[in-house]
Each structure stands twice: as structure tokens, then as C-alpha cells.
């Protein structure tokens, strides 16, 4: 009897709390469902994230611009050598392409001018060209002595160590030649201080030594005959391709040795002599 009265009293007193507790329980279940169900959570978060992304997109330069600039600056400063090595072949090709196009335009203008000019020798050359089916420019070039690659040396900067070489003759010890060429380059750099400049050619009677400088190594091409701009142009193309290939191997392949380098140089030299 007493128990019944007590339960009735409890019902009267705790009815409201029980209702609130049940309601709270149901809300917790809903929240639990929303938090643990990925699809539900995604639905809820999506508008917030979209807002944040839009905000970041709009304010990215203000929020992170300074940090990004500092980070890029540091990266560039700390890896200058790698950057120069990586950019050299790409920049070289771009510049060459531009110059070649400009030269072609110039050449076309000169050709036009020449056509207007009346001269006996000019007519003779032109007649020979017409009958032979070749252009006047080619006719003139054919009269010149072809340039030929005699030797190529690929030498490490500073140390002067020979990385690889190619020669159609039996010359002196190539490692000593590489050392001496490096010493000559060093001498010129130290003797004539005109800022950061490099020795690019050495002429020796019928021979011309053409030097292409890269950050980690330099290439010396010994050529005989008439080394004209067309030849140098072809040479530049081949050397840029060669540098690109060698740089990749030189920096990435630890076991890339003098023999492999030498066979690569031979391949490119034959390409050059074949095209000249």
C-alpha cells in the first residue's frame, strides 16, 4: 500500500524530469547518428567547408602570400646550382629558338634584297643554283670547307677531372688535357675580372675550341675547318640535347661512369659529324 503511494508520489514529482530525460536521450541519439554517419556528417559540414574554401580562395594571397614568398625565396637561394642545371637546357632552347626565328627573318629580308640587286656574279651563282636545283645560299656554303668535330671533352668544373671524351685521333693523355683546359679557364677568369663571365672559344690556327659551360661541368668541342654560324647553331642544338641527357644521368645515376659518358659523347659526335 505504502509502495503504491510512494510510486504515485514519484510519478507526480518526477514526471517532468522523465519527459526531459527521454527527450534528451532522443536528441543524443540524433546527434550520435549525425556524427557517426559519414553521409549525415558530410551533409552538415559541406556548407561550412564550402564557405571556408571560398574564404580561403578569396584571401589566400593575404593570408599565406608572405609565407609562400619567403619559402620560395629560401628554396631558390638554397638550390641555385640545381636550378641553373635544370633551367639551362630549357632556357637555352627557348632563346635559341627565338634567335633562330629572327635570323631566318633577317635572312629572308637579305635574300629579297639580293634578288633585287643586279650583278654578273650574282646572276652566275643564281643560274648555277637554278640549274642544280639548290638555293643560292646553299651554293655559297658548298664552296666552304666543312667543319668537323675532332675531339670532345666533358670536364668537371673546378676539379678539372675528365668525365668523358671522344677523339678521332690518338692525342695526349686526355685527363691531363682536361686539367690544363681547366687551368686555362681558371687563369682567364682570375686574370680578366669582368664580372661572372666564362671563356667560350680558343682559336688555334685551323682548330677552334668551343666551350659550353654548365654549372657542374663544361664541354669542349675541338673543331677543324670553317666553323661558321650554321655549324655552331647545329652544335648548340646537339649540345643542349646532350647536356639535358647527361645532366639527368650525372645527378641521378650514381654508377654513371666515364665509359658510359664516353659512349654517349661518341654517339652525339657522330650525329654532329654526320649532319655537318
Partner 1 sequence: MEAVSKKVILLGHFGVGKTSMIKRFVYHKFSKEYMTTIGVKIDKKVIKIGDTELSMIIWDIAGESTHTRIPQSYKLGSHGAIYVVDVMRPSTYENIDSEIKSLKKIMPALPIVKVANKTDLLVENEASELYKDLPLDQYIHCSAKTGEHVEKIFGLLAKQMLE
Indicate which single residue of 71, 159, 197, 275 sits in contact with partner 1 (rule: CB under 8 A).
159
| 175 touches partner 1 by CB under 8 A | yes
| 213 touches partner 1 by CB under 8 A | no
Determine the angle formed by the axes of helices 38-78 and 80-116, rounding to 10 degrees: 70
Indicate which single residue of 160, 166, 221, 261 sits in contact with partner 1 (rule: CB under 8 A).
160
| 183 touches partner 1 by CB under 8 A | yes
- Give the nearest distance from C-beta 247 to partner 1 in angstroms: 18
d(CA 210, CA 235): 10
DSSP letter (8 states) at residue 147: P
Indicate which single residue of 186, 213, 273, 276 sits in contact with partner 1 (rule: CB under 8 A).
186
Indicate which single residue of 83, 86, 114, 156 sits in contact with partner 1 (rule: CB under 8 A).
156
Indicate which single residue of 147, 154, 162, 264 sits in contact with partner 1 (rule: CB under 8 A).
162
Residue with cell 641527357: 245
**H helices present in 79-196, as ranges:** 80-116, 120-132, 136-142, 174-191
| 171 touches partner 1 by CB under 8 A | no
* Cβ closest to partner 1, residue 147 vs residue 181: 181
| 197 touches partner 1 by CB under 8 A | no
**Cα-based distances in Å from 24 to 10, 12, 21, 243:** 20, 20, 5, 74
| 125 touches partner 1 by CB under 8 A | no
d(CA 7, CA 115): 122
**Could you tell me if 160 and 179 are in contact, meaning their C-beta atoms sit under 8 angstroms apart?**
yes
* Cβ closest to partner 1, residue 185 vs residue 212: 185
**Cα-based distances in Å from 28 to 31, 42, 44:** 5, 18, 16
- The β-bridge partners of 154 are 164, 219
Q: Please tell me the count of residues contacting partner 1 according to CB under 8 A.
A: 19
Q: Which of residues 235-264 bind partner 1 (CB under 8 A)?
A: 258
- Give the nearest distance from C-beta 177 to partner 1 in angstroms: 9
Interface with partner 1 (CB under 8 A): 156-162, 173, 175-176, 179-180, 183, 185-187, 189-190, 258
Amino acid at each position: 500500500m505504502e509502495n503504491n503511494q510512494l510510486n504515485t508520489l514519484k510519478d507526480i514529482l518526477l514526471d517532468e524530469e522523465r519527459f526531459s530525460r527521454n527527450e534528451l536521450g532522443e536528441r543524443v541519439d540524433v546527434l550520435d547518428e549525425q556524427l557517426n554517419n559519414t553521409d549525415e556528417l558530410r551533409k552538415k559540414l559541406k556548407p561550412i567547408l564550402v564557405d571556408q574554401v571560398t574564404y580561403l580562395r578569396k584571401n589566400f594571397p593575404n593570408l599565406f602570400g608572405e609565407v609562400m614568398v619567403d619559402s620560395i625565396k629560401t628554396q631558390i637561394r638554397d638550390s641555385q646550382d640545381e636550378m641553373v642545371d635544370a633551367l639551362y637546357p630549357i632556357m637555352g632552347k627557348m632563346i635559341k629558338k627565338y634567335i633562330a626565328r629572327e635570323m631566318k627573318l633577317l635572312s629572308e629580308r637579305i635574300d629579297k634584297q639580293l634578288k633585287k640587286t643586279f650583278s654578273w656574279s650574282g646572276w652566275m651563282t643564281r643560274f648555277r643554283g637554278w640549274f642544280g636545283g639548290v638555293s643560292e645560299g646553299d651554293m655559297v656554303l658548298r664552296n666552304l670547307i666543312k667543319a668537323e668535330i675532332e675531339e670532345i671533352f666533358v670536364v668537371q668544373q673546378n676539379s678539372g677531372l675528365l668525365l668523358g671524351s671522344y677523339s678521332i685521333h690518338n692525342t695526349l693523355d686526355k685527363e691531363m688535357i682536361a686539367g690544363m683546359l681547366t687551368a686555362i679557364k681558371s687563369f682567364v677568369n682570375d686574370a680578366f675580372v669582368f664580372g661572372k663571365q666564362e671563356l667560350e672559344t680558343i682559336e688555334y690556327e685551323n682548330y677552334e675550341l668551343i666551350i659550353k659551360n654548365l654549372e657542374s661541368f663544361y664541354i669542349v668541342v675541338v673543331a677543324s675547318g670553317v666553323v661558321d654560324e650554321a655549324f655552331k647553331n647545329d652544335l648548340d642544338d646537339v649540345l643542349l640535347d646532350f647536356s639535358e641527357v647527361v645532366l639527368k644521368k650525372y645527378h641521378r645515376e650514381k654508377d654513371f661512369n666515364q665509359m658510359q659518358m664516353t659512349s654517349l659523347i661518341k654517339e652525339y659526335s657522330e650525329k654532329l659529324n654526320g649532319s655537318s
